[in-house]
Amino acid sequence: MSSDLLSIGSSGVQAQQKLLWTTGNNISNINTQGYTRQRTELYTNVASLGVGMSNTERMLNVYSQREMWRDTSSVAMYSSAYQQLASTDQYLSNSANSLNGAMTSYFSAFETANANPNTSTGRQGLMSQVSSLVTRFQTVSATLNDQQRTINGSIDSEVKDINSLLTGINDLNQQIIKAPKNSDGTTLNLIDQRDEMIRKLSEKMDIRTVPQDNGSMLVNLSTGQSLVLANGAASLGVTKGNPDATQTGLQLTIGNSSSSLSTSQVGGGLGGLYQARTELGPLQNEIGQLSVALADAMNQQNSKGMKLNNQLGGNIFTLPTSQGLPNANNTGTAAVSVSFIPGKGSNVSPNDFEVKFTSATNFEIYRVDGDSKSFVTGGSTPPRQFRLDDYGIQLDISGAPAAGDSLLLQPTRQAAQDLSVAITSTDDFALAAPVTGTASGNNYGSGKITLAGVYNTGTGSLINSSALAATAPQQVKIDASCNYQVYDGSGNLLGVADASTKGQNLLANLKDPVTGTAIYSAVKTTPGFDFSISGSVAANDSFSIGFNTNGFNDNYNGLALAALQNADLVRKGSSVSMDNKQTFSEAFSSSMSSLGSTVSALNTSKTAAEAKLTQSTNTFNSESGVSLDEEAANLIRFQQAYAASAQIITAARSVFDTLLSAAR
């Protein structure tokens, strides 16, 4: 009987000791990241009296654990994208970096210069603002480039961490498989370490897990690709973008097999980085589009004015060119240079384009809108020069293309960064009108001749670099019927504008007196300008039209340059609707509004995901987390049970000693 009593006491001591070990382990790991509360179950001895087997297990609800991992992926994805784009939003919204502020200062400088067009003070301030505006465009574009490089660097770092985690999970899987079952809890600690690695992996990618009977865990992407297998782990690699090397991709390698991954579906922090980078590309295109539209409009208007040296104005800005990016799989040597067509800046869209060669001489052009492509037009070489007037760009094709070759065109991607100042002197601002009209001092009427508009000083115009062409309208005479007779520089009658026109837009209304046909079919091309006469006129009154020499105090074209601030000159995306243009300020505000909406949506999603993660984490911890109060109570209870079991052993020893004494 004493041996039975001793066996009962010994089994009790050992059992309570194991309970104390488990409780102590829980308490000591209360602040250990990834630790799961353990519990030891005791079973009665089926062969005799006392405590039999014991089993230590983790207190875990696998469903709440998986839900927590999924929520962790969501929070990481939204947080990663939000962090990147919010910094861009804050940078561009800052008044020190705002393009709207720079453009406002630029146009304000025109107002100052127009007040005193013949002085150097206002013109010098204007020159300074031109340089500041270009610098602001360049800085904003360069900052977006830097951020894309930073994101690419973060992607590289994330991929290295992911590969380390995949290897670590696989190694722990193998240790768990080899570890003895029903041990003192060390195997459970290995499982905790592996699950913590899986949790960290879920921060970087959206994953799914499949537990195995041998204790190991398979890990897959949410899209199904295997990451951790039964006998090994996959590895991720960052691939060079094709054809844009900066748009890096992902490659999954398992053994000798490799396949590309969709960057839009990896989820987690890595997916958030790709999402942010995807948003930055179109934003940079829009900034480039804005810079081209503004620069081209200013160049065109300045060319319609007169400089201080009595010469026609030229370009204020130099528009950049870009080179098409060839596909890495091209077999030919085709190259495409892209330039902006002067005067078509308002047609430029923020799109990329793709040129596909269907043969060595034929090609097709597609507009790229995100992941979709739209056919624009086709062409053939020769000729080697091809214009897309509807998009304001010109393609110059060189090399020897092969069927199947393609190139990506990004006309506006680096346009803002590559924009430069063309003007070299304050005298080169063409603030005056190139032509002027005067009334004869012998006129009987009160009529005044004013410039109705200067539209063209290039091809087709009758305004030369320093004089009017001999065939240009240069004199207006009023006949007996008060009709307006217009003569050229040689005194030849060009045509007559009927008295009913009241002198408005004379050249547009000029007709052949015999046939009645219009003299100028397109006055905005030829002669490139027009005049109006207001007030009453009398027979034999005359007015002269001439090149505006010495028009130093004239700010006619300066006012036109300043008025561009409120003109609709920036295309709304690739829209071809009637109302598809907006002002410079509206264009930048639209880009900022779109970015702000994206950032706001990400912040809302992040907040919701964080709330969901808190909920799922609390649910998980309610069962798997260590409660210090509960463990402290268990510690006292198990200590008492241990002491009581020890008393059984003491009693058994006393009985045994008594029996020995009786035997003597």
Structure tokens at 661: 């004494």
Average pLDDT taken over every residue of the chain: 92
**621: buried, middle or exposed (CB in 10 Å: 19+, 13-18, 0-12)?**
middle
Of 406-410, 441-445, 642-646, the one with minimum mean pLDDT is 642-646
Residue 632 CA, distance from chain mean position? 54
Overall average pLDDT of the 317-330 stretch = 97
Give, in order, the Cα–Cα distances in Å from 111 to each of 114, 117, 424.
5, 10, 20
Express each pLDDT in 40-49 by its tens digit: 888 888 777 8
- Say which amino acid occupies 629: D
Express each pLDDT in 476-508 by its tens digit: 999 999 999 999 999 999 999 999 999 999 999
Asked if pLDDT for residue 522 goes beyond 70, the answer is yes
Asked if pLDDT for residue 435 goes beyond 70, the answer is yes
Of 241, 420, 388, nearest to 321 by C-alpha is 420
Which pLDDT score is estimated for 184?
61
Asked if pLDDT for residue 308 goes beyond 50, the answer is yes
CA atoms within 13 A on the CB side of 243: 20
Q: Work out the pLDDT band at 663, boundaries 50, 70, 90.
A: low
Most confident of 5-14, 51-60, 612-621, 640-649: 612-621
Cis peptide before 401 (omega within 30 of 0): no
Asked if pLDDT for residue 664 goes beyond 80, the answer is no
Asked if pLDDT for residue 275 goes beyond 90, the answer is yes
Overall average pLDDT of the 373-382 stretch = 94
Asked if pLDDT for residue 152 goes beyond 90, the answer is yes
Which pLDDT score is estimated for 40?
85
Of 98, 109, 118, 100, nearest to 562 by C-alpha is 109
Backbone φ and ψ for 346, nearest 5 degrees, come out as -75, -10
Which pLDDT score is estimated for 46?
75
Specify the 3-state DSSP secondary structure of 343. coil
Specify the 3-state DSSP secondary structure of 11. helix
Q: What is the DSSP letter of 626?
A: P
Q: Work out the pLDDT band at 539, boundaries 50, 70, 90.
A: very high
Q: b/e for 383-416, b at 16 or more Cβ within 10 A?
A: eeebebeebbbbbebeeebeeebbbbbbbbbbbb
Which pLDDT score is estimated for 631?
82
Asked if pLDDT for residue 2 goes beyond 50, the answer is no
Express each pLDDT in 222-262 by its tens digit: 999 999 999 899 999 999 999 999 999 999 999 899 999 99
**238: buried, middle or exposed (CB in 10 Å: 19+, 13-18, 0-12)?**
middle
Which pLDDT score is estimated for 55?
82
Neighbours of 498 (CB within 10 A): 15
Which pLDDT score is estimated for 586?
95
Which pLDDT score is estimated for 643?
83
Residue percentage of the chain with pLDDT more than 70: 98
Q: Which residue has 């080179």 as its token pair?
A: 323
Which pLDDT score is estimated for 574?
82
Q: b/e for 2-21, b at 16 or more Cβ within 10 A?
A: eeebbbbbbbbbebbebbbb
Overall average pLDDT of the 113-142 stretch = 93
Neighbours of 445 (CB within 10 A): 16
Overall average pLDDT of the 299-321 stretch = 95
Specify the 3-state DSSP secondary structure of 575. coil
**How far is Cα 333 from Cα 381, in angstroms, rounded to an integer?**
14
Which pLDDT score is estimated for 619?
92
Overall average pLDDT of the 570-588 stretch = 89
Express each pLDDT in 168-212 by its tens digit: 999 999 999 998 876 566 788 899 999 999 999 999 999 999 999
